[in-house]
Amino acid sequence: MTRAAGGALAPQRVPPSVLARLARTRAAPDDLALLRRALHSRRLVLLKSLLTRLERQSDAVPVRVRERFEAHWRLLERAESRHAPLVRDTLDYPAVGTWLAAVLAAPAGPAFAAGLGHFGAVAAAAALRSGTGFTVELATPTGVLALPGIGLLETGRPLVRLTARSRTARLTGPGTPHPAVLLRSAGGRVTGAGRGWRGLRRLPGGDALLDDLDPYRAPPGGVGRAALPPAGRDGTGGRPWTRRWRAALALLRAADPERAAETGALLRCLVPVARPPGDPGAKVSATFRSAPGAVLATLPPTAADLAEVLVHENQHSKLAVLHDLLPLHTAGPDALHRVAWRPDPRPLAGVLQGTYAHLALADFWHRAVRGPALPPRAREGALERRDSYRRQVAEAVPILLESNELTAAGRDFARGMERHLATLGRPG
C-alpha cells in the first residue's frame, strides 16, 4: 500500500461475453473475479483521495492526528508486504467502504479529523489478519475500538494499545489490568476473548459474517425510507438469523447451485436492521453503493424470503461495481419513471437497478419451479413469484430501451436482460 496507490480507477476491459453473462444475472467465476478486482481498485482510489485531502488540509488537522495517520499508513504498508491478499480482503470489507464515504464527505475541521482516527483500526485489522508483528496506539474517543471484519472492544478509555506477536495479540488501555487477547490463526482469521471484547459471528456454511457490531456497518442516514438504524447485538438474537440463514442457503443450493455459489463469492456480511416502531412485520432490505457485499435487512419471515433478499441485493452489488467499471448510463437524480415495484417515481438508475434485481428473482424462481428442489405444495407459490417478477421486469425493460440516458454498453446490457427475460416462460 504505497502512497502512489490509487489515482484514477484502473481501466479494466469488460469483454462482450462478460457483459452478456452479467446481463443474464448469472456470472461465471471469472466474471466475479473481475468485479472483485474492480471493487478493490475503487477502494484504492478512495484511500488515495483520503490521503490527498489530508495533505491539502493538513493545517486543519491536529498534529497528533496526522502523526498517528502516518504511523498507521506505514503499518498498512508492512502488512501488505507480508500478505497482500489478506490486506486487500480487509480493505474491501463493506464497513470500510461506508467509513471512507463518511470521512470523505465530512466537512473540514474536527469532523474530518475525527473520521481519520478510524483508519488506525482498519490498518490494525489488516495487520492482524496478515500475521504482522507490531505495536500501535489507537485513539478511541467513544471508548470503543471496532476492527473491521473481526470484532469490537469496549473499554470506556480514549486510547488502546494493540501489541501483536506471532499468534496472539493483546489489547490494553490505561488502567486496564485484564487485557483482551486475540488469537491469530491460519487463513487470516482472528478470534478473541476478555473483558469488553465481542467478536463477529460467522454464518454457517461459508465465510459471510453476521455484522451487528461495526459502527460503520450501515450509513449514517439509516436504511430505507424510514431511515431505520442497524440492530445492535442485544436486539438481533443470533439464533433466529442463523436458523433462517441456514434454511435459505439450503434452498439456494438445492434450487440453483450456481446462484448459491455466487452468493458465497459476493456476500461479505449480513447486517440486521431494526424494525420500525409499531410495525413488527415490516420487511426492509438494502445494499449501498459505498459498501458492495453487505446485505442490510430486517429478519425475513421465511427462508424463501431471505433467499430472495440475498439474490436481490447481490444483484445491486454486482451492478454497482460494474457501473463503476463500465458506465451503463448518464442519468441524473430526477425521478421520472413509474415502476411496478415502487409507489414513487424512480430515476433511470433506480429503474436499471430494480429491473436487474427482479430479473434475477424471476430467474431464480424459474429454476426452482423446473427443478426437483421444491415439494409440490411449494411449487405453486414459486410459480406465482416467478410470474410476478417476470411481469414487473417486462414492464420496466421498455423504459430502459426507450431512454436516451443509457450508454452504448448500457443499451447492450438492457437488450441482454430483455433476451434473458424471454427465456423464463410466460406468466401462467
Q: What is the pLDDT of residues 14-30, one digit of tens each?
A: 999 999 999 999 999 99
Q: Measure the CA–CA gap between 247 and 250, rounded to whole angstroms.
A: 5
Give the N- to C-terminal CA distance of the chain in Å, as an integer.
55
> Selecting from 3.30.1330, 3.30.2030, 1.10.287, 1.20.58, what CATH number does the domain 327-428 have?
1.20.58
pLDDT reported for residue 2 = 56
Q: How confident is the model at residue 331 (pLDDT cuts 50, 70, 90)?
A: confident
Contacts with 402 (C-beta within 8 Å, 6 or more apart), sequence order: none
The ranges assigned to domains in the chain are 57-199, 201-319, 327-428
Mean pLDDT of 125-131: 97
Percent of the chain at pLDDT > 90 equals 81
**Nearest in space to 50 (alpha carbons), one of 38, 39, 61:** 61
Alpha-helix runs per DSSP H in 212-297 = 233-236, 238-255, 257-266
- Looking at residue 16, its pLDDT comes to 94
Q: Indicate the range of 8-17, 265-274, 301-310, 342-351 predicted with least confidence.
A: 8-17
Instruction: Supply the pLDDT for residue 237.
Output: 64
DSSP conformational letter for 326 = S
pLDDT band for position 236 (50/70/90)? low
List, for residues 30-73, the tens digit of each pLDDT value. 999 999 999 999 999 999 999 999 999 999 999 999 999 999 99
1 — pLDDT class (breaks 50, 70, 90): low
Place of cell 426452482: 368
pTM as predicted? 0.94
Render pLDDT for 199-211 as a digit per residue (tens, 0 to 9): 999 999 989 999 9
pLDDT digits (tens, 9 = 90+) for 98-113: 999 999 999 999 999 9
Give yes or no for residue 4 having a pLDDT over 70: no
Mean pLDDT of the chain: 92
* Buried b or exposed e, range 410-428, using 16+ CB within 10 angstroms: bbbbbbbbbebbeebeeee
**Which comes out higher in pLDDT, residue 426 or 151?**
151
* pLDDT reading at 144 higher than 60: yes
**What is the average per-residue pLDDT within 299-323?**
96
Across the range 337-357, mean pLDDT stands at 94
Give me the pLDDT at residue 375, please: 85
What pLDDT is stored for residue 247 in this prediction? Answer: 95
Nearest-angstrom CA–CA distance, 286 and 160: 34
